Chain A
Amino acid sequence: MKNGPQVSNAAQLKVSRVGMKAFQMVGAYVKPTTRLVQAFGHAAMRARIVLDEVQLHRLLGNEDFPMELDLEKGYVIISLENDMILGLGFYGHGRLKSQIPRKEFRKTMIRAS
């Protein structure tokens, strides 16, 4: 949303929500929201990993998911092979954990094999 007369006009209204929630604090980390990552994750230069549907199925099932990545501990962007960005994972100690909201994205939405 570019600053301009329209934004100034809208600012005069009693507004309950603006644009898209971008970040939230989780402990010491600034965590991008799933929707922000889906919207802008394509522009990320690093910390992106691509999974196939079988791998994603395992990840969503909370199975132990060892993965050696040349990354520091922190959030990574998870996408499917077809460049569909789903959201975030948390990488650390050679393990990847899903941060994709479970209520919205379920294992049953992808093929297991």
Chain B
Amino acid sequence: MQPIFEAYNEIIPDFSLFQEVLHKPLTPHLRVNRIRIEPKNLFQLLKKRGIYLEQAVEMDQPFYLAPESISLGNLPEYFAGYIHPQALTPCLASVALSPQKATYVLDMCAAPGGKTSHLAQLMENTGVIVANELYPSRHPGLGHTLSRLGVLNAVVTDYQAQQFPLKQRFDFVLADVPCSGEGRFRQIEKSFIYSERGSKKKLPDLQKKIILRGFDLLKEDGLMLYATCTYNPEENESVVDYLLKNRAAELLPIDVGLDYEPGICEWRQIKYDEQLKKTARFYPHRVDSVGFFMARIGRKR
């Protein structure tokens, strides 16, 4: 059988184990929405329904493994905004950014709103989040998620992320950019084979424009997080390297309480800045979730 993502054989450790995991379904996770309820109180409610949650990370973050037999969207606790089904590694993007209370935050590509609502949770519903989403068709879903989870501090805009107006600066910027989504792929059915569509080849150009704009929107002491759910270095390290070459940016260490592989510094004979080792690559055979990449970025001092 042809390996999946064979092109990454050299950069993904334990490639055979990685292949095995790609044939298993994604493990569902959920985030407890502390805007509405504390985890210990939720446990009591779920216990009455015979549902028990298992902590997904050791750190003090409300991420849990969801029982596979339960449809989370069919629980009253979902309707009441107590829980949000969300893959574990994307949750970590908000944790890595960790916006403080009463700050001004931009989420450049906000729909469907899982990370935006998580940012609001971390900010304890204070300050302001500008949740930007270009496509109007995605606004109802975004609005619904924010309302259901009790987010009060968000405004929604619909600019192209790479052309977001430069007239103001933000304390925190999340650039969870459009990507090829390789990290979400699982080969469960034989007929379902990963294929690269033509439009995906244009993604790195778009991502480079977005990362530059996101950086330009940062305050002097601001913090930015660039994230994708793909393994492709051309959408990850190459984009961050482009930022480092074109702006006075520096990469900052990432500590989210889970093991990850450092970013790579060379791909297809192209060398990247050594700082790229500070970026994080999450693989599904290391962390039981989607493949994810993140870079934590500040201004060079």
Shortest Cβ distance from residue A66 to the other chain B in the assembled complex, whole angstroms: 24
Interface segment out of the listed A7-15, A68-76, A89-97: A7-15
Interface segment out of the listed B73-81, B221-229, B233-241, B263-271: B73-81
Q: Are A12 and B156 in contact (CB under 8 A)?
A: no
Interface segment out of the listed B14-22, B86-94, B157-165, B245-253: B157-165
The verdict on B151 contacting chain A, using a C-beta distance below 8 Å, is yes
Interface segment out of the listed B140-148, B178-186, B195-203, B278-286: B140-148
Q: Are A104 and B130 in contact (CB under 8 A)?
A: no
Complexed CA–CA distance, A92 and B165 (Å): 51
The verdict on B287 contacting chain A, using a C-beta distance below 8 Å, is no
In the complex with contacts A6-B127, A82-B45, A20-B155 CB distance below 8 A: no
Q: Are A109 and B152 in contact (CB under 8 A)?
A: no
User: Chain B residues near A45 (CB, 8 Å)?
Assistant: none
Shortest Cβ distance from residue B125 to the other chain A in the assembled complex, whole angstroms: 9
Q: Are B76 and A12 in contact (CB under 8 A)?
A: no
Q: Are B152 and A1 in contact (CB under 8 A)?
A: yes
User: Chain B residues near A104 (CB, 8 Å)?
Assistant: 79
Complexed CA–CA distance, A85 and B165 (Å): 40
Q: Are B159 and A7 in contact (CB under 8 A)?
A: no
Q: Are A9 and B156 in contact (CB under 8 A)?
A: no
**Which interface class (under 10, 10 to 19, 20 to 34, 35 or more) fits A?**
20 to 34
Q: Are B128 and A1 in contact (CB under 8 A)?
A: yes
The verdict on A108 contacting chain B, using a C-beta distance below 8 Å, is yes
B-side interface residues, number (CB < 8 Å): 38
User: Chain A residues near B151 (CB, 8 Å)?
Assistant: 20
Q: Are B76 and A86 in contact (CB under 8 A)?
A: yes
**Count of A-B residue pairs with CB < 8 Å:** 86
Q: Are B147 and A35 in contact (CB under 8 A)?
A: yes
Q: Are B155 and A10 in contact (CB under 8 A)?
A: yes
Instruction: Please give me the residue from chain B that is nearest to A16 by CB atom.
Output: B156
User: Chain A residues near B76 (CB, 8 Å)?
Assistant: 80, 84, 86, 105, 109-110
Instruction: Please give me the residue from chain B that is nearest to A5 by CB atom.
Output: B104
In the complex with contacts A6-B128, A9-B168, A35-B147, A18-B155 CB distance below 8 A: yes
Q: Are B128 and A84 in contact (CB under 8 A)?
A: no
The verdict on A19 contacting chain B, using a C-beta distance below 8 Å, is yes
In the complex with contacts A38-B150, A39-B150, A13-B157 CB distance below 8 A: yes
User: Chain B residues near A46 (CB, 8 Å)?
Assistant: none
Complexed CA–CA distance, A57 and B79 (Å): 15
User: Chain A residues near B147 (CB, 8 Å)?
Assistant: 20-21, 33, 35
Instruction: Please give me the residue from chain A that is nearest to B142 by CB atom.
Output: A17
Contact check: which of A10, A14, A86, A108 meets B80 at CB < 8 Å?
A: A86
| A–B pairs, 20, beta carbons within 8 Å | A1-B128, A1-B153, A2-B126, A6-B102, A12-B165, A13-B130, A13-B155, A14-B157, A15-B155, A15-B156, A16-B136, A17-B139, A21-B147, A39-B152, A80-B76, A82-B44, A84-B82, A86-B80, A106-B74, A109-B79
Having A13-B159, A82-B45, A110-B76, one finds 11 other A-B pairs with CB under 8 Å, namely A1-B153, A6-B103, A10-B128, A16-B139, A18-B156, A19-B155, A38-B150, A84-B80, A84-B82, A85-B80, A105-B76
- What 5 A-B pairs come out closest when comparing CB atoms? A17-B156, A6-B128, A35-B147, A6-B104, A9-B168
